[in-house]
Amino acid sequence: MNQSTHLAAEATRYHPTSILMHWLTVLLVLGILAALGAAHWLGRGSAMYAGLMQLHSILGQATFIVTLLRLLVLNYYGAPKPCGVDESQVLVAKVMHSLLYGLIGFLACSGILLSISYLAGQQMVGFTIPMTLNSQAMGLIRQLHGLVAMGFIFIAFAHALYAGAMHYFAGQVALRRLSVRDLKVVDAITAPQVDAKYIQFEQERA
């Protein structure tokens, strides 16, 4: 058994870095929705429209990067078993997590394609951005991007409700495992010993 598999098998709580990345993702998603909502509220004729849409795109790519980094942390340091009182509920939690990660990936990739297409013909660092999508393809991807975004919002809302239900009504500790109260990230990263609550970055090699 290699070290990463060994660590994943022993994890009883999310690593502090993973917890912070989780809540950072939540804040980024709220920022994405706020920027998009403000842009549509002001309308295309507003001088702030382009800036808000650019902020929307930047926050979307930042969400994707944070998600990839969190997946690396989860893969190496492990994660506790998803909350559920039986195997069917655990399966539901796993499916929701998988959908959230997959939808974030699709939204990021489609967002990049749309951003490049909107910039087609412009000069950047001496390079002319090529036309990657025609108008019909752009329209299709834009519609898919919007539909998937609505699906993501629905799944994220369902995920939050599920976690709350598990925590308050099923006797699980779903929210407590993601609590940032008294979260000592620096200690978790630098401490050489293994803490009973989580696995540190600098765990001694077996």
Residue 44 lies in a domain: yes
Domain that holds residue 21: 3-190
- Taking the C-alpha atoms of residue 106 and residue 180, their distance in angstroms, rounded to an integer, is 29
pTM: 0.78
Range of weakest confidence among 82-91, 142-151, 159-168? 82-91
Residue 200 lies in a domain: no
Residue 206 lies in a domain: no
Residue 61 lies in a domain: yes
Residue 18 lies in a domain: yes
Q: Is residue 204 predicted with pLDDT exceeding 70?
A: no
Angle, CA 153 vertex, CA 100 and CA 16 arms, to 5°: 50
Nearest to 62 by CA among 25, 30, 34: 25
Residue 100 lies in a domain: yes
- 43: its two tokens: 């309308």
Instruction: Kindly report, residue by residue over 34-63, the tens digit of the pLDDT.
Output: 999 999 999 988 999 999 999 999 999 999
How many domains does the chain divide into?
A: 1
Average pLDDT of the segment spanning 136-159:
93
pLDDT score recorded for residue 201: 41
For the purposes of burial, counting CB atoms within 10 Å of the CB of 142, is it exposed (0-12), middle (13-18) or buried (19 or more)? middle
Average pLDDT of the segment spanning 70-79:
87
Per residue, what are the HEC states of 67-91?
HHHHHHHHHHHCCCCCCCCCHHHHH
Residue 12 lies in a domain: yes
Residue 202 lies in a domain: no
- 19: its two tokens: 């917890």
Share of the chain above pLDDT 70, in %: 79
pLDDT score recorded for residue 185: 54
Angle, CA 159 vertex, CA 153 and CA 163 arms, to 5°: 150
